[in-house]
Structure 1
Amino acid sequence: MPAGVARGLGSCAVDEEQRAPYDPMPYGPDEVGVGPWPGGEAAWPDDPRYDPVLLRDGDRRNVVDRYRYWTLEAVVADLDTRRHDLHVAVENWQHDFNIGTVVRTANAFLAAEVHIVGRKRWNRRGAMVTDRYQHVRHHPTAADLAAYLADRGTPLYGVDNLPGSRHLETLALPRRVCLLFGQEGPGLSEDAREACEATFSIAQFGSTRSINASAAAAIAMHTWVRQHADLGAEETWRG
């Protein structure tokens, strides 16, 4: 794992007991996931990727079937072999509750890293434990983020409905890029705007001035996926 990258193990600001549980559903299966490995211990697979505890007790995690019964480390190692060149960054000056949802979406789209700019602590409830599988890196300022990305040849693009912002709908995003999102409400800070090589906005047609920050992040990440991801890959998950 690169220096400074956190996978959520032992570094959570929120205790495990405080994570958001799955809400009971009025339909569908009573439990998420699968039970103990059929046939008991004698039938367990001889593969170091498998977790004996999960094989014994069942795997109730929110993971795709490909990773059932795998250890956390094995899942992350496999994801690392095919992560995209997409980075995502979020400013965190007001303890924004949207950050957890952004992390969850970044995990779904297999982003290389999520960068938290500003306060190091952030609310993990919306991440639904996906921060364990997603590399998350902290930067004190937007300038620090820009310097880190510049060393890796990755341009920084801001996402905000600012005067002069380019249209996301007609923008050809670079394959290697970091998308930076501001706080819910105020948007990108002045320092963040100065650090960005360009800014772009999402077209809106209603009465509201802006859309939810986590929704904007999902739209922008999916735009990158449509332009650059291998949609025919065997590992592509469609639900």
Structure 2
Amino acid sequence: MSGEPGHEPEMSHGVGPWPGEQPPDDPRFDPELLAEGDRRNVIDHYRYWTMEAIVADLDERRHGFHVAIENWQHDMNIGSIVRSANAFLAAEVHIIGKRRWNRRGAMVTDRYQHVRHHEDVAAFAVWAAGAGLPIVAIDNVEGSLPLPEAELPEKCVLLFGQEGPGLSTEALAAASASVEITQYGSTRSINASAAAAVVMYEWCRRWA
């Protein structure tokens, strides 16, 4: 196809300008993207849509679970967790602790994902109680239930800790349940962003 006259070469990422003679008359579409092409990291359904239109459409379908991450040491995993939260259509992502976090791993998905900040665990727990959302801590600590056996409520907050130290004592105390991912090798823990993806997938398997 790429060698034939009148055909654009295949794109390795995204799409080129709108191929038809007349662009669609739809307010969801961005005139600049229609004219220049859409190289964003979005699924084909959202090609040429404005960011605002995509967020509005996602808001109509978001799932009942939230994701929260403690951020006391500028954890590099937070961006990847935000990206997974977008992929699994979490209602919101909550950053507890330091306001600043490394957005590089999010691959711009934070523009489509609602992110809320809480100064500390106490403020986060007050918010969760007011929203009527139980907090489910994800950590391999004593008393945690294996994920396949654990209850993941349809509406809840999945709380993840820092890479290495895991969840703080305050965070574990604020949770109504503690869940662990069963492991079979020698390492004590798995990567925080990988753990978050596993648990979000399991929630979706049960409820989505």
> Could you tell me the TM-score, scaled by structure 2's length?
0.93
Distance, in Å, in 2 between the alignment partners of 1:194 and 1:67 is 41
Gaps in structure 2 of 5+ consecutive residues: 1-9
1:66 match? 45
Q: Does the CA contact (< 8 Å) of 1:31 and 1:60 recur in 2?
A: no
Distance, in Å, in 2 between the alignment partners of 1:39 and 1:50 is 14
2:57 match? 78
1:219 match? 198
1:202 match? 181
Q: Does 2:120 correspond to 1:141? A: yes
The CA RMSD over aligned residues, in Å, is: 1.0
2:137 match? 158
Distance, in Å, in 2 between the alignment partners of 1:118 and 1:223 is 27
Q: Does the CA contact (< 8 Å) of 1:106 and 1:221 recur in 2?
A: yes
1:16 match? none
Report percent identity of matched pairs: 64
Distance, in Å, in 2 between the alignment partners of 1:75 and 1:148 is 27
Distance, in Å, in 1 between the alignment partners of 2:202 and 2:149 is 10
Deviates more, 1:110-119 or 1:138-147: 138-147
TM-fit CA distance, 1:30: 4.7
Distance, in Å, in 1 between the alignment partners of 2:46 and 2:166 is 37
Secondary structure in structure 2 of the residue aligned to 1:88: strand
2:17 match? 36
Runs of 4+ with deviation above 4 angstroms: none
State the AA in 2 paired with 1:147: V
Q: Does the CA contact (< 8 Å) of 1:115 and 1:139 recur in 2?
A: yes
State the AA in 2 paired with 1:54: L
2:99 match? 120
Distance, in Å, in 2 between the alignment partners of 1:168 and 1:157 is 11
State the AA in 2 paired with 1:35: G
Q: Does the CA contact (< 8 Å) of 1:158 and 1:198 recur in 2?
A: yes
Q: Does 2:156 correspond to 1:177? A: yes
Q: 1:192 aligns with which of 156, 171, 176?
A: 171
Gaps in structure 1 of 5+ consecutive residues: 1-28, 230-239
Q: Does 2:32 correspond to 1:53? A: yes
Q: Does the CA contact (< 8 Å) of 1:103 and 1:130 recur in 2?
A: yes
- What is the CA deviation profile of residues 15-73 of structure 1, one whole-angstrom value per residue up to 9, with x for unaligned ones? xxxxxxxxxxxxxx653111001135xx0111110000000000011111110100000
State the AA in 1 paired with 2:169: E
State the AA in 2 paired with 1:71: T
State the AA in 2 paired with 1:143: A
> Could you tell me the TM-score, scaled by structure 1's length?
0.81
Secondary structure in structure 2 of the residue aligned to 1:91: strand
Distance, in Å, in 2 between the alignment partners of 1:69 and 1:124 is 24
